[in-house]
């Protein structure tokens, strides 16, 4: 790398928000490239090849989803979507189009920075872990060869389906996976009301087995109505 700062392309048309986010990211040591339209974003994306993109879905020239598809045609660059609370369906659609995560406006700086760190780190883990036989985060280990999940050195007894869900989330750690993405991967069927129920029941059992309690940060995060994310942050690297 010619410059050891991570480059973030910030695509947001509202000047005040853009300035605020840019200042915050720069204060945390990131290099920020700012764009206000989809077309400008595409040009800057191609010339800078950023490590991460923060993308507002409501852009003046084209829908942010258009930019998402443009990037995903050629690259797996992590993309965090910014969306308003009312755009639930847009969030799911953006995730299914390949966004890694989303943050709902209004958001706090700590929240956005945590998502940025997690998305950059996860994309590096994925690159360097390709073909790796285990996944580790804090006290949790997923052994893909033995099809085993170990927590604090103790094996967690999971059913085949439960294991398949955990392994799929681990392989995409740090990335918000929608219900439909998980269902397609685990059951090989299109999602419907019945399969979503099945997923939720399995998920509740997994979370219980992994010892998560409501309100306590856990390995698997649930975003109601959207999907699940395996925590990609490691305590010590
Ligand atoms: Ca906007």
Distance from the alpha carbon of residue 114 to the mean position of ligand 1, in angstroms: 22
Domain ranges, residue 56 = 7-127
Distance from the alpha carbon of residue 178 to the mean position of ligand 1, in angstroms: 23
Which CATH number fits the domain that encloses residue 13?
A: 3.40.50.2300
Please report whether residue 2 resides in a domain. no
Which CATH number fits the domain that encloses residue 170?
A: 1.10.10.10
Residue 163: both structure tokens together: 């294991």
Distance from the alpha carbon of residue 36 to the mean position of ligand 1, in angstroms: 9
pLDDT value at residue 17 = 93
pLDDT value at residue 83 = 84
pLDDT value at residue 55 = 97
Q: Which three-class secondary structure state does DSSP give residue 180?
A: helix
Same domain, 178 and 203: yes
Instruction: Tell me how far apart the alpha carbons of residues 105 and 13 are, in angstroms, rounded to a whole number.
Output: 14
Distance from the alpha carbon of residue 55 to the mean position of ligand 1, in angstroms: 9
Residue 53 CB-density burial (10 A; 0-12 exposed, 13-18 middle, 19+ buried):
buried
Using one digit for the tens of pLDDT, what is the confidence trace for 9-46?
999 999 999 999 999 999 999 999 999 999 999 999 99
Q: Which helix (H) or strand (E) holds 194?
A: helix 193-209
pTM of the model: 0.73
Contact by Cβ (8 Å): 137, 219: yes
Distance from the alpha carbon of residue 102 to the mean position of ligand 1, in angstroms: 14
Distance from the alpha carbon of residue 47 to the mean position of ligand 1, in angstroms: 23
* Cβ neighbour number for residue 36 with a 10 Å cutoff: 18
Same domain, 117 and 157: no
Distance from the alpha carbon of residue 104 to the mean position of ligand 1, in angstroms: 12
Distance from the alpha carbon of residue 222 to the mean position of ligand 1, in angstroms: 26
Mark which of 93, 127, 161 sits at the end of a domain: 127
Please report whether residue 236 resides in a domain. no
Ranges of residues in the chain with a pLDDT under 50 are: 1-2, 235-237
Contact by Cβ (8 Å): 199, 88: no
Distance from the alpha carbon of residue 58 to the mean position of ligand 1, in angstroms: 4
Distance from the alpha carbon of residue 146 to the mean position of ligand 1, in angstroms: 47
The tally of domains found in the chain comes to: 2
Same domain, 105 and 137: no
pLDDT value at residue 215 = 54
Residue 58: both structure tokens together: 């409501």
């Amino acid at each position: 790398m010619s410059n050891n700062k991570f480059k973030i392309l910030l695509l947001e048309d509202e000047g005040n928000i853009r300035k605020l986010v840019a200042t915050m990211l720069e204060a945390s040591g990131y290099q920020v490239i700012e764009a206000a339209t989809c077309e400008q974003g595409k040009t800057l994306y191609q010339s800078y090849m950023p490590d991460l993109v923060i993308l507002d879905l409501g852009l003046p020239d084209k829908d942010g989803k258009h930019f998402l598809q443009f990037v995903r045609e050629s690259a797996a660059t992590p993309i965090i979507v910014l969306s308003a609370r009312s755009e639930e369906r847009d969030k799911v659609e953006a995730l299914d189009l390949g966004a890694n995560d989303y943050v709902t406006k209004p958001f706090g700086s700590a929240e956005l920075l945590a998502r940025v760190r997690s998305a950059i780190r996860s994309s590096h883990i994925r690159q360097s872990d390709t073909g790796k036989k285990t996944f580790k985060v804090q006290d949790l280990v997923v052994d893909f060869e033995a099809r085993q999940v170990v927590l604090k050195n103790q094996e967690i007894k999971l059913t085949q389906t439960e294991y398949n869900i955990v392994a799929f989330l681990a392989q995409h750690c740090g990335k918000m996976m929608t219900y439909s993405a998980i269902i397609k991967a685990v059951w090989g069927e299109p999602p419907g009301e019945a399969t979503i129920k099945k997923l939720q029941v399995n998920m509740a059992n997994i979370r219980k087995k992994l010892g998560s309690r409501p309100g306590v940060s856990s390995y698997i995060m649930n975003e109601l109505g959207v999907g699940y994310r395996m925590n990609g942050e490691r305590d010590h690297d």
